[in-house]
């Protein structure tokens, strides 16, 4: 195994890494979900940049399926660490659920130090769920994609970090991930991000595996996610 390698991809936020048991596990699938503007993309970008800065031989693949990644923001997050590390970040922007599948199938060779981010795994899937027949086909395809991701993670040892959109739970004020059953089955880690009454503060709750304590606060700023208020 590689020198100094822990088998975890650290987020760069020490309290969150402790909550996660050292970071997001390599060789496995992790899910971060939450409502819009809860900081899912910021956390993924911060994790990718932190990981590339710590491991100079690592690479990161960022699949921007939602088409919302601001390259200026990416540069802003990377700047304190040195923008040169962005040469090891490979960005893909699929425009359809089919293209998302093709992007996954055409990923470069991965090793245990690498990180793949899919942001989000269900954005393009939801576009397909317009009627019963297409929803059935989309569910089968999503399950196939998740199975393929899990297989790649296990075979390569790389970490796969997915973000998920949410939907309302009927007759409650709660939300849950879109395609909850599929994502729960394939994900080793499930982390929920929620807004709080305080600007920039988010509550991060570890829902899988169950732990105690299972929640901490993090902050979302212009330069990414942070363990402290800047």
Share the mean pLDDT of the chain. 94
Looking at residue 122, what is its pLDDT? 97
Question: Residue 5 has what pLDDT?
Answer: 65
What is the domain-level CATH number for residue 98?
3.40.50.300
How many structural domains are present in the chain? 1
Q: Residue 68: helix, strand or coil by DSSP?
A: coil
pLDDT at residue number 224 = 93
Residue at token pair 């269900």: 122
In a domain, 161, yes or no: yes
Is 137 a domain residue? yes
pLDDT tens by residue, the chain, 230 residues: 554 567 999 999 999 999 999 999 999 999 999 999 999 999 999 999 999 999 999 999 999 999 999 888 899 999 988 889 999 999 999 999 999 999 999 999 999 999 999 999 999 999 999 999 999 999 999 999 999 999 999 999 999 999 999 999 887 888 999 999 999 999 999 999 999 999 999 999 999 998 878 999 999 998 899 998 76
Full residue range of the structural domain in which residue 160 is found: 8-226
Asked if the structure places residue 153 within a domain, the reply is yes
pLDDT at position 148: 98
**Encoding tokens for residue 27?**
């060789």
**Would 213 be classed as within a structural domain?**
yes
Contacts of 195 (CB under 8 A, 6+ apart): 35, 37, 38, 202, 203
The number of CA neighbours under 13 Å toward the Cβ of 158 is 22
Does residue 57 sit within a domain? Answer: yes
Whether 1 is covered by a domain: the verdict is no
Question: What value does the CA radius of gyration of the chain take, rounded to a whole number of Å?
Answer: 17
pLDDT at 4: 53
* Residue 204 maps to a domain: yes
Question: Rounded to the nearest 10 degrees, what angle do helices 71-78 and 40-54 cross at?
Answer: 40
How confident is the model at residue 230, as a pLDDT? Answer: 64
**For residue 116, which of 125, 104, 127 has the smallest C-alpha distance?**
104
Q: What is the pLDDT of residues 106-150, one digit of tens each?
A: 999 999 999 999 999 999 999 999 999 999 999 999 999 999 999
| 2 occurs within a structural domain | no
């Amino acid at each position: 195994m590689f020198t100094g390698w822990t088998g975890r991809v650290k987020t760069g936020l020490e309290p969150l890494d402790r909550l996660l048991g050292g970071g997001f596990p390599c060789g496995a699938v992790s899910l971060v979900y939450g409502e819009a503007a809860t900081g899912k993309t910021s956390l993924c970008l911060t994790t990718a940049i932190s990981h590339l800065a710590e491991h100079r031989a690592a690479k990161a693949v960022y699949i921007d399926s939602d088409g919302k990644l601001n390259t200026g923001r990416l540069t802003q997050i990377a700047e304190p660490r040195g923008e040169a590390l962005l040469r090891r970040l490979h960005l893909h922007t699929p425009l359809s659920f089919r293209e998302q599948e093709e992007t996954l199938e055409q990923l470069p060779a991965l090793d245990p130090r690498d990180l793949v981010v899919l942001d989000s795994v269900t954005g393009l899937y939801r576009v397909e769920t317009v009627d019963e027949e297409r929803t059935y086909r989309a569910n089968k395809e999503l399950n196939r994609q998740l199975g393929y991701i899990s297989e790649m993670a296990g075979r390569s040892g790389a970490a796969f970090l997915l973000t998920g959109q949410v939907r309302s739970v009927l007759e409650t004020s709660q939300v849950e991930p879109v395609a909850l059953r599929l994502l729960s089955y394939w994900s080793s880690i499930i982390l929920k991000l929620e807004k709080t009454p305080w600007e920039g503060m988010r509550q991060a709750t570890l829902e899988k595996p169950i732990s105690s304590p299972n929640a901490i606060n993090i902050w979302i700023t212009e330069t990414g996610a942070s363990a402290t208020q800047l």
